[in-house]
C-alpha cells in the first residue's frame, strides 16, 4: 500500500543483497517521459495500469537480480500478483491504516493521483477503504511482514538465495 515503505526498504534490501533497485513508478516515468500524474490524466487509471504492466514485464526482462518496489495498486490489476510471484519473491508490508495515513500526510499528496485534493478525513477514509479492497491481492504475496517498523535483516532472510 502507498506509504508502507516499499521504496525506502527496497533500496536498503537491494543494497544488502547486491541487487539493482527499481522503483516501478520511477522506471515508468523515465520510460514514458512524463509523471505518474500525467499518465493518469492522459489515459485514466486503465491506461496507466496497462503501461504499468508493460513496465513490470520490461523490468523482469532487463534485470536479472533486482528488488522492485511496485506501486500500491500494481498487484491489484490484471494477473499482476501471479506474475510477481512467478518472477520473484513477493513481500507484503502490512502497515496499519492509521500509520499509513500519518505517513502520507507528511508527503506531497498532489504527486499521488489517487490522493490529490483529499482532506485529512477523506484521506483516512480512502486508506481504510482501499486497504480493505486490496488485501485480497496483497495477501497473495509469498510473505507478509506486519508492523510499523521492519528489520531489514529479516527481509533479507526471506529473499536471500
Binding residues: 3-8, 25, 49, 72, 112, 134
Other CB atoms closer than 10 Å to residue 128's CB: what's the count?
Answer: 14
Neighbouring-strand partners of residue 143: 91
Other CB atoms closer than 10 Å to residue 116's CB: what's the count?
Answer: 12
Q: How far apart are CA 117 and CA 79, in angstroms?
A: 30
Backbone angles phi, psi at 149, to 5 degrees: -130, 150
Residues flagged as binding site for Mg(2+): 7
Residues flagged as binding site for ATP: 3-8, 112
Backbone angles phi, psi at 67, to 5 degrees: -105, 125
Query: CB within 8 A of 91, min separation 6: which ones?
Result: 141, 142, 143, 144, 145, 155, 158, 159
Residues flagged as binding site for substrate: 25, 49, 72, 134
Amino acid at each position: 500500500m502507498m506509504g508502507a515503505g516499499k521504496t525506502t526498504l527496497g533500496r536498503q534490501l537491494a543494497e544488502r543483497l547486491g541487487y539493482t533497485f527499481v522503483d516501478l513508478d520511477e522506471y515508468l516515468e523515465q520510460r514514458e517521459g512524463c509523471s505518474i500524474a500525467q499518465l493518469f490524466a492522459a489515459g485514466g487509471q486503465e491506461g496507466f495500469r496497462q503501461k504499468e504492466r508493460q513496465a513490470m514485464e520490461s523490468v523482469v526482462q532487463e534485470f536479472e537480480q533486482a528488488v522492485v518496489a511496485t506501486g500500491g495498486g500494481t498487484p491489484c490489476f490484471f494477473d499482476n500478483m501471479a506474475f510477481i510471484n512467478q518472477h520473484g519473491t513477493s513481500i507484503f508490508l502490512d502497515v496499519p491504516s492509521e500509520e499509513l495515513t500519518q505517513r502520507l500526510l507528511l508527503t506531497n499528496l498532489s504527486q499521488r493521483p489517487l490522493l490529490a485534493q483529499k482532506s485529512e478525513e477523506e484521506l483516512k477514509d480512502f486508506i481504510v477503504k482501499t486497504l480493505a479492497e486490496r488485501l485480497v491481492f496483497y495477501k497473495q504475496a509469498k510473505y507478509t511482514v506486519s508492523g510499523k517498523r521492519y528489520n531489514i535483516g529479516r527481509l533479507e532472510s526471506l529473499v536471500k538465495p
